[in-house]
Amino acid sequence: MSPSLSKRLLIISNRLPTVIAQNEDGWSMKPGSGGLVTALAPIMRKNHGVWIGWPGCGDDAPLDKLLREFKDQQGYQLVPVPLSEEEVELYYRGFSNAAIWPMFHDLLGFCRFELPHWQAYNAVNQKFAAAIAEQAVPDDFVWVHDYQLMLVGAHLRDMGQQDRLAFFLHIPFPSPDLFRRLPWKIELIKGLLAYDQLGFQTLRDRRNFVQTATLLVPEVEVVSRKRHHTLLQWGDRIIKVGHYPISIDFTEFDQGARSHEVEDAAWYLHENLRGRQLVLGVDRLDYTKGIPERFLAFERALEKYPELIGRISLLQVVVPSRTLVPDYANLKEQLDQLAGRINARFGKPEWLPILYVFRCLERVQLLARYRTSEIALITPLRDGMNLVAKEYCASSVENNGVLILSEFAGAADQLGKHALLVNPYDTDGTADAIYQAFTMEPEERRQHMMHLRSDIRRNDVHRWLRRFVESADGDN
């Protein structure tokens, strides 16, 4: 059900929600497959919404034609913000991904704070603000997304924008102690305070933000604290700071996983496993996802519990991501080496402990792995939410999967009661959880999975969208 939003929606994100491809028939532009796009599309169509972002394609693509076709087919408009290679390098790979991303995931050791990166971030945010100012008309619902665009609101205010501005952060917000390390902390926190509504994934993120804002900007005062939001006052402005845990389209995964194609692919996968249990990991290549730590915990499980040898395999699927950034290239090499070493140590001609795949999976193949894996091992060092955990449960239609989940994923707040929670830095503890999951009786698995599934069914991405949009004006 779409939220009751009468206003026109302007969504702003770093990337436009599209996949641009070229084949023998020419160029094509399709909507991306994420939950955010699925949830927003109906309301974007209904209210003639506009999505503003970087198209992310080279100059050779016939962008204008593709954008026109997209609008005709999808019923809402895309507005591109073109970026030069230098801007991408400094604003995106630099400040966004080498300063904010690691800092907000509590990994200070990966941070590079460089003045030209910060300057480019500021300038590109201003460029996005200019693109919004050109499109926006009074009474639009302007909704900026994520860590690449935190200063857009402040630039819009400088340009005279008076209307309400909303922002949602998809990644965690760090503690005040960590945030204070940033050389441009005051500018950034004041930038965020330019929005009227700030959304975070978890209560912890919301608290971190409120503490940081009141610490760094002493004139900011807490007016009231309610279950779902805190009201701040800064001068004559009131800022609503809430937490809205993002989710997935449950029905899409549940029904997709029940389809014949997925059933066949799942059957085929298991047929080749000859009675072994499959432990699944699915992640973008990223050092926040804790993949090396996971490999080591799996190795420890084989050491500690030799009865697992030959009876369990870790299937780790990694989607290539940011491979031009050196830290990511190093991570790829580290994973290759670790998987090779562990397989050489324990492997037998008819069994490999780690099956490691480095590519993006097609939907049917992804769902088949979700549906058929007896255990999901999702152990980020820190994660805003982690949608894979929710997708796994929604696709576990036989109620026989066990979710092992990092306590540092935002999803742990919601799913922690019926998952096996682990600290990914604790190799032994994670190894024990793998054994516990392996030996869990079918009835216990069923009970936990039924609870997880009904929770995600109730709190799906459509509810998330409704809550965010309705909370803009209401008291919730």
Q: Which residues are catalytic?
A: 170, 383
Residue whose CB is less far from ligand ADQ, 188 or 385: 385
Contact 367, 395 (CB under 8 A): yes
Q: Is 296 in the site for ligand ADQ (CB under 6 A)?
A: no
Among 130, 222, 319, 352, the residue binding ligand ADQ under the rule CB under 6 A is 319
Q: Is 246 in the site for ligand ADQ (CB under 6 A)?
A: yes
Provide the pairing of β-strand 312-319 with 354-358.
parallel
Contact 158, 79 (CB under 8 A): no
Q: How many CB atoms lie within 10 A of CB 415?
A: 23
Q: What angle do CA 392, 460, 386 make, to 5 degrees?
A: 45
Among 96, 212, 386, 459, the residue binding ligand ADQ under the rule CB under 6 A is 386
Which among 167, 151, 148 is positioned nearest to 101, based on CA atoms?
148
Count of residues near ligand ADQ by CB under 6 A: 19
Residue whose CB is less far from ligand ADQ, 56 or 310: 56
Least separation in angstroms between residue 390's CB and ligand ADQ is: 8
Chain positions 18 to 37 lying near ligand ADQ, rule: CB under 6 A, are 34
Among 205, 391, 432, 460, the residue binding ligand ADQ under the rule CB under 6 A is 391
Least separation in angstroms between residue 238's CB and ligand ADQ is: 26
Choose one: 115-123, 126-134, 216-224, 382-390; the region binding ligand ADQ (CB under 6 A).
382-390
Q: Is 388 in the site for ligand ADQ (CB under 6 A)?
A: yes
Least separation in angstroms between residue 39's CB and ligand ADQ is: 11
In whole angstroms, what is the distance from residue 143 CA to residue 427 CA?
Answer: 41
Contact 170, 147 (CB under 8 A): yes
Chain positions 415 to 474 lying near ligand ADQ, rule: CB under 6 A, are none
Residue whose CB is less far from ligand ADQ, 161 or 247: 247
Among 90, 165, 171, 431, the residue binding ligand ADQ under the rule CB under 6 A is 171
Least separation in angstroms between residue 256's CB and ligand ADQ is: 11
Q: Alpha-carbon Rg of the chain, whole angstroms?
A: 23
Contact 449, 371 (CB under 8 A): no
Among 156, 279, 366, 465, the residue binding ligand ADQ under the rule CB under 6 A is 366
Q: Is 15 in the site for ligand ADQ (CB under 6 A)?
A: no
Q: Is 90 in the site for ligand ADQ (CB under 6 A)?
A: no
Any bridge partners for residue 278, and if so which?
313
Long-range contacts of 435-440 (CB under 8 A, 24+ apart): 435/301, 435/304, 435/305, 435/308, 437/279, 437/374, 437/375, 437/402, 437/404, 438/277, 438/305, 438/308, 438/311, 438/312, 438/374, 438/375, 440/402
Least separation in angstroms between residue 309's CB and ligand ADQ is: 27
Least separation in angstroms between residue 378's CB and ligand ADQ is: 8
From its phi and psi, is residue 402 left (phi > 0), alpha (psi between -120 and 50) or beta? beta
- CB neighbour class for 158 (10 Å; exposed up to 12, middle 13-18, buried from 19): exposed
Choose one: 112-120, 278-286, 428-436, 456-464; the region binding ligand ADQ (CB under 6 A).
278-286
Contact 367, 263 (CB under 8 A): no
Chain positions 94 to 153 lying near ligand ADQ, rule: CB under 6 A, are none
Please report how many Cα atoms fall inside a 13 Å half-sphere around the Cα of residue 300, on the Cβ side.
Answer: 17
Q: Is 262 in the site for ligand ADQ (CB under 6 A)?
A: no
Residue whose CB is less far from ligand ADQ, 391 or 432: 391
Q: Is 383 in the site for ligand ADQ (CB under 6 A)?
A: yes
Please report how many Cα atoms fall inside a 13 Å half-sphere around the Cα of residue 452, on the Cβ side.
Answer: 33
Among 31, 199, 281, 384, the residue binding ligand ADQ under the rule CB under 6 A is 384
Contact 27, 20 (CB under 8 A): yes
Which among 65, 226, 52 is positioned nearest to 140, based on CA atoms?
52
Q: Is 154 in the site for ligand ADQ (CB under 6 A)?
A: no
Q: In what order do the strands lie in the sheet with 354-358?
A: 354-358, 312-319, 277-284, 375-378, 402-406, 420-422
Among 335, 385, 393, 420, the residue binding ligand ADQ under the rule CB under 6 A is 385
Least separation in angstroms between residue 136's CB and ligand ADQ is: 24
Using CB under 6 A as the criterion, which residues of the chain lie in contact with ligand ADQ when the complex forms?
34, 170-171, 246, 282-284, 317, 319, 360-361, 366, 383-388, 391
